[in-house]
C-alpha cells in the first residue's frame, strides 16, 4: 500500500475499533482446496449500515436476502463464502442464504435479522450446507482476522485487497476489503466489498456517501464488460470512536466523504490492476466534457475497449482505437477538438495526429501503469476510469473456470 498521509500501514477491514473477523475452510471453493473459503465480519455492536448491489436483473440468493435486510439501515455482521455464488438456485438458494445468516448470528451472538450474506463463485451450484453447518462454529473471530478474510473471499484474484484510512480531521477510521478480478464492468462493478468505520454516522447520510463513493470508484472499473449476479458493497458504522453523529451538511460530512472515497478508489485501482490475466493497469482520464455523466461514459467506454486493451498489452501506440472508442460512446463530441495524451506525450491535437516519438510512447506503454488522457474541450467536467490490458491469460482463465 502507498505510504501516504491518512493511510494506515497494514490496515484493513478490522482496523476501525469494534470490528472482528475470522475464517475457516469449509471445502466450498475447489480452486482453493484446504484454504479458507468461509468467513465472517462482525461488529461488537449493531451499527448503521448501507449497501449497493448488482444492477444485473439476475440476482443471487444472498443479494436478495441482504437487500431486504439492509433496508432497515442496520447490521451487525456479514457471512461470506467463495467458490459458490448461490445464484440461479431458486427457493432452495434463498433458504440456504437465510440459514447461513442464522448460523453466523448464533455464532456471533447477534440477531439473524442483523446479519447479511454474501457469496462469490460458480453460478448454478448449491451451497454445501452440511459443510457450512459444521464450519461456521469453527470460525475464530479476532481484531486481526481482517487479513485472513481478505484472502478467504478471493476466487481468481491473485492478491488480497485491503486498506484503511484515518481521517485527517476527526478521530475515526474507515477500513475495507474487496475481491474482484474478472466479470467486472460498471453498473456496480462485479465484486464483493466490505467497508467498516468506527464513526457515528446518520444512516441517510451513510447511504448517500456510499452511493457517491461507489459511482466514483467501483462503477468506474471495467475488466471485461460483464456484470455479475452477486455484486455487493456494504458499509457498517458502529460508532466506537464516539463523537457527534455525522449528518449531511455537518463539518465532518465532507471529511467522511473524502476518506470513504479514498478507500474505495484505492480498492478500485487494486481490482483493476489484478484483472484476470492483467499485466498492466490502465487509467483513463477524460476532461473537458459538458457533464459528469458524459465524462464517465467516455472514460468507461475507452477503458473497456477490447481493441484498445489489446493494444496496451502489446505496447502498440495505435491512438485511433482510443478516439474510435470515444466516438462510439454515445456522447456528443467534436472530433476536431480532441486532444489525446499517453502519459505526458501528446499524440493527437485538435483531432489530428501530433508529432511524437513513437519509441518514447512505446516505452510508456511498456510500464506497469499506463495513463491515457483525452480532452474533449467542450466543458469543465472530468472523470477517471480504470481497467487493464487484455492478454492471452484472460482467455485461458475463463475457458477453464469450471473445469
DSSP 351-379: TEEPP--HHHHHHHHTSSEEEEEEE--SS
**In angstroms, rounded to a whole number, what is the distance separating the alpha carbons of residues 201 and 12?**
20
> Mean pLDDT over residues 278-303, rounded?
94
Residues paired with residue 23 on neighbouring β-strands, in sequence order: 39
Confidence band of 195 (pLDDT split at 50, 70, 90): very high
> Mean pLDDT over residues 244-252, rounded?
93
Q: Are residues 58 and 115 in the same domain?
A: yes
Q: Are residues 46 and 162 in the same domain?
A: yes
DSSP state letter for 201: B
- Residue 12 forms part of a structural domain: no
- Residue 81 forms part of a structural domain: yes
Cα atoms in the Cβ-side hemisphere of radius 13 Å centred on 239: 16
- Poorest-confidence range of 205-214, 236-245, 274-283, 333-342? 274-283
- Residue 10 forms part of a structural domain: no
Is the pLDDT confidence value at 372 over 50?
yes
Is residue 318 within 8 A of residue 340, CB to CB? The reply is no
Is residue 188 within 8 A of residue 219, CB to CB? The reply is yes
Q: How many domains does the chain have?
A: 2
| Structural domain containing residue 259 | 19-273
Is the pLDDT confidence value at 182 over 50?
no
Q: Are residues 292 and 259 in the same domain?
A: no
Catalytic residues: 190
Q: Are residues 266 and 340 in the same domain?
A: no
Q: How far apart are the first and last CA of the chain?
A: 34
> Mean pLDDT over residues 155-183, rounded?
82
Is the pLDDT confidence value at 226 over 60?
no
- Residue 8 forms part of a structural domain: no
Q: Are residues 286 and 212 in the same domain?
A: no
Q: Are residues 122 and 204 in the same domain?
A: yes
pLDDT attached to residue 120: 87
Q: Are residues 127 and 78 in the same domain?
A: yes
- Residue 7 forms part of a structural domain: no
Confidence band of 4 (pLDDT split at 50, 70, 90): very low
Q: Are residues 62 and 144 in the same domain?
A: yes
- Residue 9 forms part of a structural domain: no
Is residue 115 within 8 A of residue 153, CB to CB? The reply is no
Is the pLDDT confidence value at 183 over 70?
no
Amino acid at each position: 500500500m502507498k505510504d501516504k498521509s491518512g493511510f494506515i500501514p497494514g490496515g484493513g477491514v478490522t482496523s476501525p475499533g469494534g470490528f472482528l473477523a475470522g475464517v475457516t475452510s469449509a471445502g466450498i471453493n475447489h480452486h482453493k482446496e484446504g484454504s479458507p473459503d468461509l468467513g465472517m465480519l462482525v461488529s461488537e455492536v449493531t451499527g448503521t449500515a448501507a449497501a449497493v448491489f448488482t444492477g444485473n436483473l439476475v440476482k443471487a440468493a444472498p443479494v436478495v436476502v441482504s437487500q431486504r435486510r439492509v433496508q432497515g439501515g442496520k447490521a451487525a455482521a456479514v457471512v461470506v463464502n467463495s467458490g459458490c455464488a448461490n445464484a440461479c438456485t431458486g427457493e432452495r438458494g434463498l433458504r440456504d442464504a437465510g440459514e447461513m445468516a442464522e448460523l453466523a448470528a448464533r455464532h456471533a451472538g447477534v440477531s439473524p435479522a442483523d446479519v447479511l450474506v454474501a457469496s462469490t463463485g460458480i453460478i448454478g451450484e448449491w451451497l454445501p450446507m452440511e459443510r457450512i453447518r459444521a464450519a461456521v462454529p469453527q470460525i475464530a473471530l479476532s481484531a486481526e482476522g481482517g487479513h485472513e478474510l481478505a484472502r478467504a473471499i478471493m476466487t481468481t484474484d491473485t492478491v488480497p485487497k485491503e486498506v484503511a484510512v484515518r481521517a485527517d480531521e476527526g478521530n475515526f477510521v474507515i477500513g475495507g476489503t474487496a475481491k474482484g478480478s474478472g466479470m467486472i464492468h460498471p453498473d456496480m462493478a462485479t465484486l464483493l466489498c466490505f467497508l467498516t468505520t468506527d464513526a457515528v454516522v446518520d444512516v441517510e447520510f451513510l447511504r448517500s456517501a456510499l452511493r457517491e463513493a461507489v459511482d466514483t470508484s467501483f462503477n468506474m472499473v471495467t475488466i471485461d464488460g460483464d456484470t455479475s449476479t452477486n455484486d455487493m458493497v456494504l458499509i457498517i458504522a458502529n460508532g466506537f470512536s464516539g463523537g457527534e453523529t455525522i449528518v449531511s451538511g455537518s463539518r465532518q460530512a465532507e471529511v467522511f466523504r473524502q476518506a470513504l472515497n479514498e478507500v474505495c478508489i484505492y480498492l478500485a485501482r487494486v481490482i483493476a490492476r489484478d484483472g484476470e490475466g492483467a499485466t498492466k493497469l490502465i487509467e483513463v482520464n477524460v476532461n473537458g466534457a459538458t457533464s459528469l455523466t458524459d465524462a464517465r461514459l467516455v472514460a468507461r467506454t475507452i477503458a473497456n475497449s477490447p481493441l484498445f486493451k489489446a493494444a496496451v498489452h502489446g505496447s502498440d501506440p495505435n491512438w485511433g482505437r482510443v478516439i474510435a472508442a470515444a466516438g462510439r460512446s454515445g456522447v456528443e463530441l467534436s472530433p476536431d477538438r480532441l486532444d489525446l495524451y499517453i502519459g505526458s506525450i501528446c499524440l493527437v491535437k485538435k483531432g489530428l495526429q501530433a508529432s511524437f516519438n513513437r519509441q518514447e510512447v512505446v516505452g510508456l506503454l511498456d510500464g506497469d501503469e499506463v495513463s491515457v488522457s483525452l480532452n474533449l474541450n467542450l466543458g469543465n467536467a472530468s472523470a477517471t476510469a480504470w481497467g487493464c490490458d487484455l492478454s492471452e491469460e484472460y482467455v485461458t482463465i475463463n475457458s477453464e473456470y469450471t473445469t
